[in-house]
Amino acid sequence: MEETKNNFVKAYEEHVDALYRYTMFNVRDKESAKDIVQNTFTKTWNYIAMGGEIDNIKAFLYKTLKNLIIDYYRSKKSASLDTLMEDEYFDPPAPVEVSIEEHAESLLAFKLLDKIPAEYKEVIMLRCVEGLSFKEIAHVLSEAENTVAVRFHRALKKVKELFHRKNAYNIND
């Protein structure tokens, strides 16, 4: 049992930032994102405590997180999704360890990723930013692995088209 607990804490340390980033990308509110991430871990622990088996903790955490984000949107029905997506809601303060410039660049990057069509945005985010495999993404999105791979390649093509057309995403080092 102690080993299970240690493994869970290790999983927390390993994945918490990525889960937070993914949540922020979706909910655009720092406090809500933190709550959702915390709930993701407590719900996953409850599943383990009840004797549930998990093959891939990373994919399981993302799947739980995705469901909690959907619940979050449902609870925020009164506030439209468009409002949540507005830029002023997406202005979390920079962590102490990260410079203000770096943090601002991260936020800018998220804003740029928002330009990608919605159907491709999530798969780009999960694959490129969070580093999930197609198999893991397929588990999170409840889709076939092949469908995810095809969508990802179409998304990359779309990104290239977008960059070529607008030529507006020149980011300096």
Partner 1 sequence: MIDNNFKKIIKRAKGLVLSIQEKEQIKSSILMHMEANPAQIGVLWQDASTASSFFKWKDFANVRYAIPALILVFFVFAGASTFAASRALPGDLLYPLKILGEKVASNLAIGPADKEKVATVQAETRLEEAETLQAQGRLDEEKKATLARSFHQNVRDTGSDEGSFIKKLSTSSRAMAVDITASSSIQIFDDTEGSKHEEKSKEDSHRDKQFESEVKPEMQVIPKIDEVKNAVIKKL
User: How many CB atoms are closer than 10 A to CB 11?
Assistant: 17
56 lines the binding site for partner 1 (CB under 8 A): yes
Please, are residues 60 and 135 in contact by the beta-carbon 8 Å criterion? no
Only segment of 18-26, 69-77, 81-89, 145-153 that touches partner 1 (CB under 8 A): 18-26
Q: CA–CA separation, 94 vs 144, rounded Å? A: 37
21 lines the binding site for partner 1 (CB under 8 A): yes
Query: In whole angstroms, how close is the CB of 77 to partner 1 at the nearest point?
Result: 26
**Binding partner 1 by CB under 8 A: which of 70, 79, 85, 98?**
98
Q: Residues 99, 104, 106, 107: is their CA dihedral positive or negative?
A: positive
110 lines the binding site for partner 1 (CB under 8 A): yes
Cα angle value 72/36/64 (rounded, 5°): 85
φ/ψ of residue 86, rounded to 5:
-65, 150
Residues that bind partner 1 (CB under 8 A): 1, 3-5, 7-9, 12-13, 16-17, 20-21, 24-25, 34, 37-38, 41-42, 45-46, 48-60, 92, 95-98, 102-103, 105-110, 112-113, 125, 128-129, 133, 135-136, 159-160, 163-164, 169-171, 173
